[in-house]
């Protein structure tokens, strides 16, 4: 893991520190997503996981131009695992933003009021919420057509889930048919599959007696029970279902969220009986305190409370940002700390060469999860906390960073302890490790000469969000590189030349080799956005790669533009930094990547092995602004700036921060200034707010 000082407030981070930490968080959270959503075996608590995401979102809010394309804030869950057919959700199954204290909740409510103009202009206009306990279970979607249950799916990564229809039919809380004149022709009912604590205890007792798997907690038991290939096993498990949302619907069926909940109950779905209609934020917070007080007495696990804007027309206008809706937030319960012994400090080398110290701990249970390792972030944090090998330390899995060493228990320090000396040589290749001015991380200067960096880049190249080559995991990449089978990304597509040698390796057989080679062949064609992300360019995650692909359209156009952008006075450079979400820092890393002959050689080599498909942006039906570049300037009368931008992007437009000759429309509000004048000088079409609203319908 690479990282910056996570105890350090986001406002105090330098840009380099922020970029390094966002990179570390992206990888860390992705690993936890796979453990939770695919393996049903999380290695950290929900509070710990939430804290990681919160830290990521806080840094992104401070440095929006550093947001990575693989940012956790743009991702929900993890890709669907093998063994089940895949289901593409008609509408994405979103996750929720988190609040950890009353101030966060009030900030959320203030944000809703700022976004919707009528609420911003009239502080007395009522803003109601529905508050519900946040069930700790497995999210699913149930599709009904003509009132009959036809398909059920897990959330998966929010876009594609697993088809578990047969298993869901075994749940008594899932009606096979729903009745009534108010049932739409098509409706997806969404909710949570869970297991009560008494049922969980009884199941584990039966499992132990039969010599079967004993589950760690009710959530794992529910997820493992639902995702059985044999539905008779699911049928024998005591699973329950609470309905609390909907996805695709053929026609509107309510005006308020509270009304729809009662409609779902009329269709014979179970809704949480503790749900309450709250007239304001203070009412919401009282509900939270009451729910927290009764938490231990509830028959099922909850990890917080969810607040949702009650009016559905406001929900629609608020829309979503990345993976989460703007109209809802999860107010989480606090987590725990524990003490343990730090045996030694090891230093890992990441894909970009950053050296990250890791605390190797005496295993300790924190919040029901066994912790044996924790990040120490960087040398400054070790010095600031004076962390030493042999110390007794406080480990926390909540707050700003999880897992983290919070502090040292000084009165238990051994008399012969010595301060930790951070290495100035790479532990993997002995190259000089330097710390650039303004950076928190010390970095190996070995580049691809460093085996750790080289292998981490190859792992990134084949990872799920990049080329996603099934059967070529991290251990295989390490072994193949160590033995000379692969050295560069393009070598992966020449593995067929080593087929016989691979068959002779321990653990490989004819079928596994054939499957691997077939998986490699299947990835010879890839979309431009995934290709850009797979290259592992610093600060270029999934979101940024998608922005670049959308802006330039094809691999040749992108390569040409990045080369031309090396001239800071060029139109190519101005176009690059004008992309909303890129900026000078990311541009510098892109330009630096294309300035290295080695990287150009890698691109040329890959070009001979692959077909990189031009980017096809998602289109909004009947949208006259799809693909157009729009700039907003001045004060808008009927929309807030954020709502205007969100609506434009939802219709397929690109929103830019400044006007250029490539701008299609400049929407001019009151008191418009230099942008309107520049549009006139360049001959760019300007629209009043009313003309813009008429254009987009």
Span 158-170, pLDDT tens digits: 888 899 999 999 9
Question: What is the band of 635 on the pLDDT scale with cuts at 50, 70, 90?
Answer: confident
Residue 228 confidence (pLDDT) above 70? yes
Q: What's the average model confidence in pLDDT over 399-403?
A: 52
Please, what CATH class does the domain formed by 86-332 belong to? alpha beta
Query: What was the pLDDT predicted at 57?
Result: 81
For the domain spanning 629-696, the CATH number is 3.40.50.10190
Q: What is the pLDDT of residues 15-31, one digit of tens each?
A: 888 888 888 888 888 77
Q: Determine the Cα–Cα distance for residues 593 and 612; give it in Å rounded to an integer.
A: 19
Question: What is the band of 45 on the pLDDT scale with cuts at 50, 70, 90?
Answer: low
Q: Determine the Cα–Cα distance for residues 391 and 343; give it in Å rounded to an integer.
A: 8
Query: What was the pLDDT predicted at 296?
Result: 82
The answer to which of 167-181, 300-314, 332-346 has the lowest mean pLDDT is 332-346
Q: What's the average model confidence in pLDDT over 213-224?
A: 87
Query: What was the pLDDT predicted at 4?
Result: 42
Handedness of CA 132, 137, 139, 141 (dihedral sign): negative
Q: What's the average model confidence in pLDDT over 602-616?
A: 92
Mean of the per-residue pLDDT values for the chain? 87
Q: What's the average model confidence in pLDDT over 578-590?
A: 86
Query: What was the pLDDT predicted at 624?
Result: 86
Ranges in the chain annotated CATH 3.40.50.10190: 629-696
Question: What is the band of 248 on the pLDDT scale with cuts at 50, 70, 90?
Answer: very high
Question: Whose structure tokens read 């060493």?
Answer: 405
- Percentage of residues of the chain with pLDDT beyond 70: 92
Q: What's the average model confidence in pLDDT over 130-139?
A: 94
Could you give the C-alpha distances from 84 to 63, 92, 98, in angstroms and in order?
Answer: 39, 19, 31
Query: What was the pLDDT predicted at 80?
Result: 45
Question: What is the band of 676 on the pLDDT scale with cuts at 50, 70, 90?
Answer: confident
The answer to which of 123-127, 448-452, 541-545 has the lowest mean pLDDT is 448-452
Residue 638 confidence (pLDDT) above 70? yes
Of residues 367 and 261, more confidence is placed in 261
Query: What was the pLDDT predicted at 76?
Result: 54
Spatial neighbors of 554 by CB under 8 A, at least 6 apart, are 528, 612, 614, 615
Q: What's the average model confidence in pLDDT over 101-106?
A: 94
The answer to which of 75-84, 298-307, 599-608 has the lowest mean pLDDT is 75-84
Q: What's the average model confidence in pLDDT over 101-115?
A: 95
Residue 10 confidence (pLDDT) above 90? no
Instruction: Give the DSSP H or E segment for 290.
Output: helix 281-294
Question: 681 exposed, middle or buried (CB, 10 Å; 0-12, 13-18, 19+)?
Answer: exposed
Q: Determine the Cα–Cα distance for residues 443 and 450; give it in Å rounded to an integer.
A: 11
User: Chain centroid to CA 252: how far?
Assistant: 30
Question: Whose structure tokens read 């939802």?
Answer: 650
Query: What was the pLDDT predicted at 509?
Result: 87
Q: Biggest alpha carbon distance in the chain?
A: 81
Instruction: Give the DSSP H or E segment for 545.
Output: helix 542-552
User: CA triplet 471, 464, 550: central angle to 5 degrees?
Assistant: 140
Q: What's the average model confidence in pLDDT over 531-548?
A: 89
Query: What was the pLDDT predicted at 436?
Result: 83
Query: What was the pLDDT predicted at 380?
Result: 93
Of residues 506 and 80, more confidence is placed in 506
Question: What is the band of 400 on the pLDDT scale with cuts at 50, 70, 90?
Answer: very low
Question: Whose structure tokens read 């009606």?
Answer: 175
The answer to which of 255-264, 489-498, 682-691 has the lowest mean pLDDT is 682-691
Question: What is the band of 7 on the pLDDT scale with cuts at 50, 70, 90?
Answer: low
Spatial neighbors of 516 by CB under 8 A, at least 6 apart, are 469, 471, 472, 495, 502
Ranges in the chain annotated CATH 1.10.150.20: 527-613
Question: What is the band of 437 on the pLDDT scale with cuts at 50, 70, 90?
Answer: confident
Task: Give 147-187 as a 3 state SS string.
Answer: CEEEEEEECCCCCEEEECHHHHCCCCCCCCECCCCCCCCEE
Q: What's the average model confidence in pLDDT over 500-504?
A: 92
Query: What was the pLDDT predicted at 617?
Result: 63
Ranges in the chain annotated CATH 3.30.470.30: 86-332
Question: What is the band of 541 on the pLDDT scale with cuts at 50, 70, 90?
Answer: confident
Q: What's the average model confidence in pLDDT over 275-281?
A: 97
Residue 287 confidence (pLDDT) above 50? yes
Query: What was the pLDDT predicted at 210?
Result: 86
Catalytic entry in 8, 67, 86, 134: 134
User: Chain centroid to CA 675: how far?
Assistant: 34
* DSSP of 392-439: EEEEESSTTSSSEEEEE-GGG--TT--PPPPPSB-TTT--BEE--TT-
**Helix (H/G/I), strand (E/B), else coil: 355:** strand
Q: What's the average model confidence in pLDDT over 272-290?
A: 97
Q: Determine the Cα–Cα distance for residues 197 and 329; give it in Å rounded to an integer.
A: 26
Question: What is the band of 239 on the pLDDT scale with cuts at 50, 70, 90?
Answer: very high
Residue 134 among the catalytic residues: yes
Q: What's the average model confidence in pLDDT over 292-315?
A: 93
Query: What was the pLDDT predicted at 238?
Result: 94
Query: What was the pLDDT predicted at 40?
Result: 54
Spatial neighbors of 312 by CB under 8 A, at least 6 apart, are 252, 254, 255, 256, 257, 260
Options 3.40.1190.20, 3.40.50.12780, 1.10.10.10, 1.10.150.20; CATH of 527-613 = 1.10.150.20
Question: What is the band of 3 on the pLDDT scale with cuts at 50, 70, 90?
Answer: very low
Question: What is the band of 43 on the pLDDT scale with cuts at 50, 70, 90?
Answer: low
């Amino acid at each position: 893991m690479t990282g910056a000082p996570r105890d350090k407030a986001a406002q105090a981070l330098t840009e380099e520190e922020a970029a390094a930490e966002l990179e570390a968080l992206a990888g860390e959270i992705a690993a936890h997503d796979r453990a939770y959503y695919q393996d049903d075996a999380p290695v950290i608590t929900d509070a710990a996981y939430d804290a990681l995401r919160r830290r990521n979102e806080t840094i992104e809010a401070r440095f929006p131009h550093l947001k990575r394309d693989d940012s956790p804030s743009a991702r929900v869950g993890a890709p669907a695992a093998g063994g089940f057919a895949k289901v593409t959700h008609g509408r994405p199954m979103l996750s929720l933003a988190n609040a950890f204290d009353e101030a966060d909740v009030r900030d959320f409510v203030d944000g809703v009021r700022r976004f919707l103009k009528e609420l911003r202009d009239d502080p007395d206009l009522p803003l109601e919420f529905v508050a519900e306990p946040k069930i700790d279970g497995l999210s699913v979607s149930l599709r009904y057509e003509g009132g009959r249950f036809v398909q059920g799916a897990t959330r998966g990564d929010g876009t594609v889930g697993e088809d578990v229809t047969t298993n869901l039919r075994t749940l008594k809380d899932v009606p096979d048919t729903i009745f009534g004149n108010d049932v739409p022709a098509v409706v997806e009912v969404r909710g949570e599959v869970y297991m009560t604590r008494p049922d969980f205890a009884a199941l584990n007792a039966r499992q132990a007696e039969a010599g079967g798997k004993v589950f760690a907690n009710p959530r794992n038991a529910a997820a493992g029970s639902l995702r059985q290939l044999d539905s008779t096993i699911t049928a024998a498990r005591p699973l329950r279902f609470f309905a609390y949302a909907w996805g695709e619907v053929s026609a509107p069926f309510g005006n308020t969220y509270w009304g729809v909940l009662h409609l779902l109950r009329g269709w014979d779905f179970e809704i949480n009986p503790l749900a309450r209609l709250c007239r304001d934020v203070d009412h919401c917070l009282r509900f939270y305190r009451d729910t927290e007080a009764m938490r231990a007495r509830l028959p099922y696990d909850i990890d917080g409370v969810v607040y949702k804007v009650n009016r559905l027309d406001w929900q629609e206008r608020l829309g979503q940002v990345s993976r989460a809706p703007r109209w809802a937030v999860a107010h989480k319960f606090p987590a725990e700390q524990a003490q343990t012994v730090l045996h030694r400090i090891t230093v890992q080398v990441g894909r970009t060469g950053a050296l990250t110290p890791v605390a190797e701990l005496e295993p300790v249970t924190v919040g029901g999860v066994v912790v044996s390792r924790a990040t120490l972030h960087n040398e400054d944090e070790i010095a600031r906390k004076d962390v030493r090998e042999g110390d007794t330390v406080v480990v926390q899995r909540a707050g700003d960073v999880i897992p983290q060493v919070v502090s040292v228990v000084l009165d238990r320090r051994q008399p012969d302890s010595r301060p930790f000396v951070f290495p100035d040589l790479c532990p993997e290749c002995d190259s000089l490790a330097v710390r650039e001015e303004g950076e928190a991380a010390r970095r190996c200067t070995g580049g691809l000469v460093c085996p750790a960096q080289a292998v981490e880049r190859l792992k990134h190249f084949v990872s799920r969000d990049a080329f996603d080559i099934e059967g070529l995991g991290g251990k295989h990449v390490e072994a193949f590189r160590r033995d000379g089978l692969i050295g560069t990304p393009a070598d992966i597509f020449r593995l067929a030349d080593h087929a016989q040698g691979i068959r002779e390796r321990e653990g490989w057989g004819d079928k596994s080799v054939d499957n691997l080679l077939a998986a490699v062949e299947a990835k010879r064609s890839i979309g431009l956005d995934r290709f850009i992300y797979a290259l592992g360019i610093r600060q270029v995650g999934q979101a940024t790669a998608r922005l670049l692909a959308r802006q330039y359209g094809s691999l040749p156009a992108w390569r040409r533009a990045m080369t031309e952008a090396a001239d800071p006075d060029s139109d190519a450079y101005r176009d690059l930094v004008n992309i909303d979400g890129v900026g000078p820092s990311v541009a510098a890393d892109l330009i630096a990547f294309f300035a290295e002959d080695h990287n150009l050689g890698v691109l040329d080599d890959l070009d001979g092995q692959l077909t990189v498909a031009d980017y096809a942006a998602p289109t909004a039906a009947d949208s006259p602004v799809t693909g157009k570049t729009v700039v907003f300037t001045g004060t808008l009368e009927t929309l807030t700036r954020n709502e205007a931008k969100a609506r434009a992007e939802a219709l397929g437009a690109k929103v830019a921060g400044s006007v250029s000759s490539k701008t299609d429309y400049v929407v001019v509000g009151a008191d418009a200034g230099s942008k309107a004048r520049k549009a006139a000088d360049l001959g760019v079409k300007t629209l009043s707010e009313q003309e813009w609203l008429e254009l987009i319908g």
